[in-house]
Structure 1
Amino acid sequence: MPGTDLRRFPRSVFQYGSEPDARFSLANERTFLAWIRTSLALLAAGVALEALGLGIHSGFRLAASLMLIVSGILAPVQAWTGWKKTERALRDGSALPSAPLSLPLAVLMAAVGVLVLLGVLLR
């Protein structure tokens, strides 16, 4: 049976399957919002790290700041694609998808930690 309301956005999600239990859709929305909050925190950390000029070697500080900002840009991409894929899976009754940008973001965060550590040690 087609989706209940073709006026809902995005159509690529809502025109298929049937309405899932509202609790699952709301949990999916909370996950989306958590990714958005994470994005804001990453962007703020990247700007703050560079703007405050803490006692960190300037080259390492700039690299870490840029990596935080790139991560802050990638997180909303994960939020949107993850929300869409999960909502579609809920509507179709299929297996839930993984978060493909989780590993790259984790690697970026580990690299930021290493850069900050080196920047403190080599100042």
Structure 2
Amino acid sequence: MASGSVVPANRGRRNLTDDEKLQFEATEGIEPVTSFERMGIKDDLLRGIYAYGFEKPSAIQQRAVMPIIQGRDVIAQAQSGTGKTSMISLAVCQMVDTSTREKDRGNLAMSVFNHVSKGAVE
């Protein structure tokens, strides 16, 4: 089980020694991706992430966002406040096709809802 925290920049950043105490169990081949840029996150999402003061993904996000985006089944367990909900939201926003025409955008909200509902149930 992983524990960590998602904290905007300049607000209670954790010490490196705290990170060294974290324990992870991950499928072989799952490596942490330590920056949002290396995850290939869309530019508009990156701007939003940085506008809210986040500098790097939390420990749980580093290990789970990419497999979710790749369509893999993911079980992520971590303490409260570690970034699980934002991990799912980020992955869903990355996967949603925003290039659709204006008349098709009514389906965008339903698409996001369906992705999030599926993730919450599973």
Structure with greater helix percent: 1
Scaled by the length of structure 1, what TM-score is found? 0.30
Scaled by the length of structure 2, what TM-score is found? 0.30
Larger radius of gyration: 1
